[in-house]
Amino acid sequence: MQHAHSLPVSDPRHGWLVRGCPQGKPLESRCAPKHPRPVRPAFFIWLLAALQVAAEPPMLRPALAIAANGAGLDVGDYAIPCVADWNGDGRKDLLVGYRVLATPTLGDKVAMFLNTGTDTAPVFGQRSLLQANGADIQVPGSGCGAPAPWVCDYDGDGRRDLLVGEGNSGYVYLYRNTNTDAAPILAPGVRLLMGASPVSVSSRATPCVADWDADGLNDLLCGDGNGNVSFFRNVGTAHAPGYETRVLLQAGSGALYLGIRAVPRCIDWDGDGLQDLVGSSDTGVYWCRNTGTRTTPVLQAPVALNIPKTDGSGSLTTIQTGGRMRLDLTDWDGDGTLDLILGNANGTVFLYPGYRFRVTRIQQLSPGELTLEWASAPLLKYTVLTGSSPAQIQTPLVTGLASGGNLTTWTHPMSAPARYYRIQVGP
């Protein structure tokens, strides 16, 4: 009987040490078996186990354009996306703030794309415009600073509300939902306050709400045009959030700097149980790993997220769509792995599906032959290294193996000492 396996792995260099077990027995989930078996070389395939079972950030597949009304979604200019189930029907919808450059005095708007497909395979029709107090939401913008929507139950009454960051002066507006989750009706926008003064981050406000210090009260975090992220700790209540201080988040050795026009998201990117910060800017999308605690996050310096190159090299590169990249994160396809949504300067919105590298099948097709399959991404090429021990995985067995798409299969004639393998992206 064959077993399908999935193993957590962690290796920022995109390499994986793998080890196996006798055919037909379940893989150990850790490097050191609790009950070591005698090694019986030659006839047993020892492969595939993770060097570490620690946290594992997702990898990303190439960009896919999100469609609406049968064509590529395009709101015009400076798309800032937020994925949320706006009408409470269990299917994720897409809000996109954007600039109205043709009529700048009217203010910028928030497009709504309701999902008529399923939650895991969204289908969007024509846009509508979010309204408040019976009229289109309009927010002052300037330059490339568009409205940045964020959906949450801000006042804890059980109904989702809308926050919008202002592109011009960096204010954050609350549009309270006065109706139901199924049919939201928004009250006029009011600026959030810090004490008696409006919350402001000077320009290009990109709010998100999360309980950053895990005290049970949601806090406000907000990116700005300068590339920093402000933390407004909620010193009010769940029903009436209040702020008294603005503190710049730190990461690494100083103030967190994502690059200009920062958009933060608070999310456990690597699945280690600690909320991290993932953010975008003009220069890329970055992960700041939280190595502190739930109540006292300590962020590491930003590390750029990578996607497959399109130049045929088979390797990885940072994300760059031409500046003004605005991030959101969600499990778009419901496969349990976070996916990346990116709004672009030209009004389009892209999906980068996330996946976790896993060896999903180990098979001894015939004596002396083995097959490995692993989650992969189009455009990538892989190198398979082997050795007789974890410390000796150095011998290349195959280089430049093209990805099979989302899954790559490789069959290899076994040799007795080659029992440990590492699969890595690129050379």
Catalog residues that contact Ca ion under the rule CB under 5 A: 85, 87, 89, 91, 93, 211, 213, 215, 217, 219, 268, 270, 272, 274, 276, 331, 333, 335, 337, 339
Tokens of 316: 């990885």
Between 215 and 369, CB nearer to Ca ion: 215
Q: Which is nearer to Ca ion, 18 or 151 (CB)?
A: 151
- Closest distance of CB 77 from Ca ion, Å: 26
Of 335 and 369, the one with the shorter C-beta distance to Ca ion is 335
CB of 326 to Ca ion, least distance (A): 19
CB of 26 to Ca ion, least distance (A): 26
CB 189 within 8 A of CB 168: no
Residue 115 or 203 with smaller CB distance to Ca ion: 115
Minimum CB–partner distance for residue 177 and Ca ion (Å): 14
Residue 169 or residue 218: which is nearer to Ca ion going by CB? Answer: 218
* Min separation Cβ 86 and Ca ion, Å: 6
Minimum CB separation from Ca ion for residue 333, in Å?
5
Residue 246 or 412 with smaller CB distance to Ca ion? 246
Which is closer to Ca ion, CB of 46 or CB of 232?
A: 232
Smallest separation (angstroms) from Ca ion to the CB of 233: 6
